[in-house]
């Protein structure tokens, strides 16, 4: 089994989004302090049972003037994207001699655009999505919440993840993706109510493909939720659960926007709790 990082451009956020400050979302919109450009990572897993892509990264279409709704305050004031056509996930996969149209399974951690913007590259794949997240992202209410369902293709018919009452480490519920149990989805709500993460058990350590449970490993260790999580307690509870898992087994923690994630993957640097 092999895991590869796929960087699909970069994103710049308000500092108040990366680490929660007084005022929450209002602070995110009103602040003039930006982060540096952060990577947008998706992940490829080559497994004996097939090829798996975790998140689809962002699309270069974000540079089109009509891609983001102009009426939405977050897209007007809260985020900046830098994604070229060469950065998109199909081109990143091609560099590894993998055809996006031949990927067996895509797993979304959540439906925010920098994780789901590249969905249209996978018309032939089984697409697993969090049920709660999918329902929240649909229709007019989804658009108001900042999702972009208007860009989903007509063929998009994902399979909803139905968690089982099957304990996995400190998590009371889980969803096995592979028959050998080496790829598992666990619920990690907080950044969004339906957010999930993917755990890959290599036999020597567990690789935790974290999505946006935190923006960096350091923020996880400090138990700092981000500034857009609608439920701060839920986000903190999830972070504590991840730290508990790291106490039980060697855990390599890989958030989607942490510049150090690739180095930790390459060196298998486990989280020190």
Q: What is the pLDDT of residues 29-80, one digit of tens each?
A: 989 999 999 999 999 999 999 999 999 999 999 999 999 999 999 999 999 9
Q: What is the rounded distance in angstroms from the CA atom of residue 228 to the CA atom of residue 209?
A: 20
Banded pLDDT at 91 (limits 50, 70, 90): very high
Does 271 have pLDDT greater than 90?
Answer: yes
Q: If you write DSSP's letter for every residue of 77-135 in order, what string do you get? A: HTEEEE--GGGSHHHHHHTTT--GGG-SEEE-S---HHHHTTGGG-TTSEEEEEHHHHH
Q: What is the rounded distance in angstroms from the CA atom of residue 86 to the CA atom of residue 210?
A: 25
Q: What is the pLDDT of residues 222-238, one digit of tens each?
A: 999 999 999 999 999 99
pTM: 0.96
Phi then psi for residue 47, to 5 deg, are -130, 150
- Determine contact, residues 231/212, Cβ cutoff 8 Å: no
* Residue 161 exposed, middle or buried by CB count within 10 Å (0-12, 13-18, 19+): buried
Q: What is the DSSP letter of 174?
A: B
**Nearest C-alpha neighbor of 131 from the set 194, 48, 216:** 194
Mapping DSSP to helix (H, G, I), strand (E, B) and coil, where does residue 70 land?
coil
Mean confidence (pLDDT) of the chain: 96
């Amino acid at each position: 089994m092999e895991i590869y990082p796929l960087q699909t451009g970069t994103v710049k956020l308000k500092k108040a989004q990366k680490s929660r400050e007084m005022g929450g979302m209002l602070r995110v919109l009103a602040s003039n302090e930006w982060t540096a450009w952060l990577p947008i990572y998706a992940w490829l897993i080559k497994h004996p049972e097939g090829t798996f892509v975790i998140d689809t990264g962002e699309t270069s279409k974000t540079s089109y003037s009509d891609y983001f709704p102009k009426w939405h305050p977050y897209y007007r004031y809260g985020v900046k994207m830098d994604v070229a056509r060469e950065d998109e996930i199909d081109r990143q996969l091609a560099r590894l001699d993998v055809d996006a149209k031949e990927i067996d399974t895509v797993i979304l951690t959540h439906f925010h655009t920098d994780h789901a913007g590249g969905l249209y590259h996978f018309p032939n794949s089984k697409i697993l999505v969090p049920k709660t997240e999918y329902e929240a992202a649909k229709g007019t209410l989804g658009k108001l919440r900042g999702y972009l369902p208007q860009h989903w293709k007509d063929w998009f018919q994902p399979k909803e993840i139905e968690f089982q009452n099957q304990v996995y480490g400190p998590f009371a519920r889980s969803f096995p993706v592979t028959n050998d149990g080496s790829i598992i989805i666990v619920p990690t709500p907080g950044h969004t109510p339906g957010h999930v993460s993917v755990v890959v058990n290599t036999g020597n350590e567990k690789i935790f493909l974290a999505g946006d449970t935190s923006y960096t490993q350091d923020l996880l260790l400090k138990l700092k939720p981000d500034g857009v999580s609608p439920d701060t307690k839920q986000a903190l509870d999830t972070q504590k659960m991840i730290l508990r898992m790291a106490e039980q087994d060697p855990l390599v923690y890989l958030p989607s926007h942490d510049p150090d994630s690739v180095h930790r993957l390459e060196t298998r640097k486990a989280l020190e709790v």
